[in-house]
Structure 1
């Protein structure tokens, strides 16, 4: 996940070396340098003094003295020494970085490769990532780079986006909020001006993007991180169609938002009926055409018959030509 503001963790990690380099600095001056107010900085310092090395006794914890408006580090608990990875730690980290490299849009590919190379150089030839060379597959598209640029510069973004549930490409202007990874895919979380709501946009469904010369201004309540939701529960909000399925296509019940009208206890010998949730008439028409007559529409859905007939005529005309 990428966010414009540093997390508290990254701020805390930077504080100890900062204060070590500035013994006796004024609290007010440090707060200004670190971009926080004095109340927040005091809370961070109170958090730091209960952090430290395993064992977590008084001699293991970070010791920072702050009184009368001045701050000094008495004991850094190892944060004053470069990190040394064990072999197993390096292997796990390289594996994780390689997974990040293979997930489109999740991070800057050049930065990830540079990090992998530095770890490998430090650990020696024994530890190598699966994909590290300059000839490795670079899955960063121009659209991916523009999305990341919009997030980092806090500017609005115009994009052409393919919506799979409606089988259509739309032009949208969005106010980027952050980038997040969900189930192996990278998403842009943004305020969509046309939908007037926060939406997730999958990187691999953005066909084109352009960073606008205007600030990203999502509503304040839209920028608050929310817990991931089970998108499966949203299918109940979609329209439903009644369909008939031939026995050799019953497997579709496991892959689509479809429920049989009756519980299946044995292998069916004839067609069964089911209720199918769909995103748009265009998607439903493509779904039915894809099964070549093995799935049939029983209910009336406006526009679907015309779409199927149009596709059939177009296919016949191409054969005639």
Structure 2
């Protein structure tokens, strides 16, 4: 669909949208419609020039502006939003069902309500639901409630990289979706920093009788997803990681590939330069091994030999 088609669909849906929200502000309307204030203003000017043949009073769409608030006084018959086509309904249903099956990503009750409405409107022709629907995750519900009510949380959290659980008091900031997983972004009081807690690794949660009070800079900063959104143009190394340094998975852009019986893990690691990764791996000693590329493995070995030679020379001197 090109830009003109997108705009036409938006304009046709805008009148019933505004009718359902009398007195909405321009800023709120622009945010909900996903357009800039300038684009919203242009759309509104276009709308008031549209209507029924005759194009006189009562024939044109009439939207009034009062103290930055919008009201529709004449719809010219454009009273209902556009219906989904069958392919569109199928696509939306498939996406909603996928979200329901992923614990914590969305409020499952809202997703199921949307599924029911679309299926009812489509006569279940789009894609009937024959599979059982996953039950609500009570822990996810508690976390979302704390975020909604701005309350502090006590969490029992499992860290996969350390294979251990810990109890933490956190000040929730928001819920974010990263790489098909929901995370609670919160200020961790123990670590004195912002941390991301994956929903399916929260073993228990309790809403505390105190407000969530993360520092203002933490609240205003954008979510740091740098560990999840590696630049595809950057090089990737395959490494083996000892159990003793499994914490690296939480601090470096690493993707787990496999795990052996002795606890060693194979991972793909994105890095900026050979120099940087060589220095990092030298500091890890024999607890991290480079499997590929061979050029990087050779570089690390040569750097280690040179460092040992330098120490030997210093000792003999």
Q: Shorter-chain-normalised TM-score: which range?
A: 0.5 to 0.7
Cα distance, 1:186 vs. partner?
1.1
- For the residues of structure 1 that align with 2:189 and 2:74, how far apart are their CA atoms? 51
Give the structure 2 partner of residue 177 of structure 1.
Answer: 173
CA 1:137–1:235 in 2, change beyond 3 Å: closer, same or farther? Answer: same
Is this contact kept in 1: 2:63–2:72, CA < 8 A?
Answer: yes
Query: What is the aligned-residue RMSD (CA, Å)?
Result: 4.6
Per-residue displacement from partner, 1:45-70 (whole Å, max 9, x unpaired)?
Answer: 765332379x9895399863336888
Is this contact kept in 1: 2:174–2:185, CA < 8 A?
Answer: yes
- For the residues of structure 1 that align with 2:169 and 2:16, how far apart are their CA atoms? 36
Give the structure 2 partner of residue 51 of structure 1.
Answer: 43
CA 1:137–1:238 in 2, change beyond 3 Å: closer, same or farther? Answer: closer
1:146 is aligned to 2:142 = yes
Is this contact kept in 1: 2:104–2:182, CA < 8 A?
Answer: yes
Cα distance, 1:117 vs. partner?
1.3
1:16 is aligned to 2:18 = yes
**SS of the residue aligned with 1:89?**
helix
**SS of the residue aligned with 2:182?**
strand
1:260 is aligned to 2:260 = no
CA 1:195–1:70 in 2, change beyond 3 Å: closer, same or farther? Answer: closer
Cα distance, 1:150 vs. partner?
0.7
Q: How many residues align?
A: 229
The gaps in structure 2 that reach 5 residues or longer are 1-13, 29-35, 52-59, 231-246, 253-261, 271-287, 302-317
Cα distance, 1:225 vs. partner?
5.5
**SS of the residue aligned with 2:42?**
coil
Give the structure 1 partner of residue 11 of structure 2.
Answer: none
Per-residue displacement from partner, 1:221-271 (whole Å, max 9, x unpaired)?
Answer: 2223525533167959969xxxxxxxxx9x965557855288538xxxxxx
**SS of the residue aligned with 2:43?**
coil
Cα distance, 1:83 vs. partner?
4.0
Give the structure 2 partner of residue 190 of structure 1.
Answer: 186
CA 1:99–1:70 in 2, change beyond 3 Å: closer, same or farther? Answer: closer
CA 1:79–1:198 in 2, change beyond 3 Å: closer, same or farther? Answer: farther
- For the residues of structure 2 that align with 1:62 and 1:235, how far apart are their CA atoms? 60
Per-residue displacement from partner, 1:71-99 (whole Å, max 9, x unpaired)?
Answer: 64366698741441111111111011011
- For the residues of structure 2 that align with 1:237 and 1:47, how far apart are their CA atoms? 42
**SS of the residue aligned with 2:222?**
coil
Give the structure 2 partner of residue 81 of structure 1.
Answer: 80
Pick the aligned partner of 2:212 from 209, 212, 216.
216
TM value normalised by structure 2 = 0.57
Cα distance, 1:164 vs. partner?
2.1
Cα distance, 1:166 vs. partner?
2.6
Pick the aligned partner of 2:227 from 227, 231, 243.
231
CA 1:225–1:73 in 2, change beyond 3 Å: closer, same or farther? Answer: farther
Give the structure 1 partner of residue 277 of structure 2.
Answer: none
**SS of the residue aligned with 2:175?**
strand
CA 1:224–1:118 in 2, change beyond 3 Å: closer, same or farther? Answer: same
Give the structure 1 partner of residue 107 of structure 2.
Answer: 108
Is this contact kept in 2: 1:158–1:212, CA < 8 A?
Answer: yes
- For the residues of structure 1 that align with 2:76 and 2:221, how far apart are their CA atoms? 32
